[in-house]
Amino acid sequence: MAYQDILYEVDQGIARITINRPDTFNSFRGITCEELIDAFNRAGWDRGIGVIVLTGAGDKAFCTGGDLSSHEGAYDGRGTIGLPLEALQSVIRDIPKPVIARVQGYSIGGGNVLALLCDLTIASDKAIFGQVGPKMGSVDPGFGCAFLARTIGEKRAREMWYLCRRYTAEEALRMGLANSVVPHDELDQEVQRWCEEIMAHSPTALAIAKRAFNADTEHQRGISALGLQAVGLFYDTDESKEGVKAFKEKRPPQFRKFTQKPSDN
């Protein structure tokens, strides 16, 4: 596959996959997801590669989730919601190599879920984490909720989704969303150190460990499939479309007018 939305590099057994859409804060559209799936499979099953780094281009954003400019009741690609999210999320878990999220800026929405699904997360002290779905008429009811709760606890996960606040890198570290936080100009050196440590270890043992960790939460894949089917139906509603419309018109959304009955007024 010839890539237009991502960059793919390999150096001394380390594969680096970069979402290369800095003008959209590295949001993803249908083709972005397809290219990421291809790149993860390419790196994940290459015996010469020992670890994979996922990041975003520039300093502003790791990834900010789905590109709302390509959302018209559904996104512009394949899959239940117009994005092959199930395949993308699954490939990060399924490949037998550790995946490190290098988070240098905003890790928001679907981008925050991608960082969550990576085996390890190393963040700049300038990184910002958070979920925004309910502010935009969307939600990730699979790994984005269930695996987040398993990772940082029920109370924190519900807080992230219900309030849609933003969290600093240090807050993310304390809640278990990140493994390490370093000064911004030391991020690449820190990622390299972690990669080199991993590269010194048994690839078979690491693959078995990753499978073992995943086995404990594998049932969440079914929850994700069911949940995204529901989201696909939700995207057809006026309530959900209001979120995208308000975003494009740069105004606060008015969701509740679509759920109230005349007697509620």
Q: What is the pLDDT of residue 183?
A: 98
Instruction: Classify residue 45 by burial, with Cβ atoms within 10 Å: 0-12, 13-18, 19+.
Output: exposed
pTM: 0.92
List all residues 6 or more positions away from 205 whose beta carbon is below 8 Å from its beta carbon: none
Q: Would you state the pLDDT for residue 68? A: 74
34 alpha carbon, distance to own chain's centre: 14
- Reported CATH class of domain 1-186+218-265: alpha beta
Q: What's the full length of the chain, in residues?
A: 265
**What is the structure's pLDDT at 83?**
84
Distance CA 256, CA 4 (A): 39
Per the listing, tokens 């759920």 go with 259
User: What residues of the chain score a pLDDT lower than 50?
Assistant: none
**DSSP secondary structure string, 140-207?**
--SIIIIIHHHHH-HHHHHHHHHH--EEEHHHHHHHTS-SEEE-GGGHHHHHHHHHHHHHTS-HHHHH
d(Cα 181, Cα 184) in Å, to the nearest integer? 9
Place of tokens 């009811």: 141
Distances (CA, A) of 181 to 12, 139, 188, 194, 250: 24, 27, 12, 12, 33
The predicted-structure confidence for 91-134, as pLDDT tens digits, reads as follows 999 999 999 999 999 999 999 999 999 999 999 999 999 999 99
- With left for phi above 0 and alpha for psi between -120 and 50, is residue 105 left, alpha or beta? beta
Q: If DSSP states are collapsed to H, E and C, what string results for 125-151?
A: CCCEEECCHHHHCCCCCCHHHHHHHHH
Q: What pLDDT, in 10s, does the model give residues 137-161? A: 889 999 999 999 999 999 999 999 9
User: For the chain, first and last CA: distance in Å?
Assistant: 54
**Cα 195 versus chain centre, distance:** 20
Q: What is the pLDDT of residue 231?
A: 87
| CA-based nearest residue to 29, from 131, 130, 110 | 110
pLDDT at 185: 98
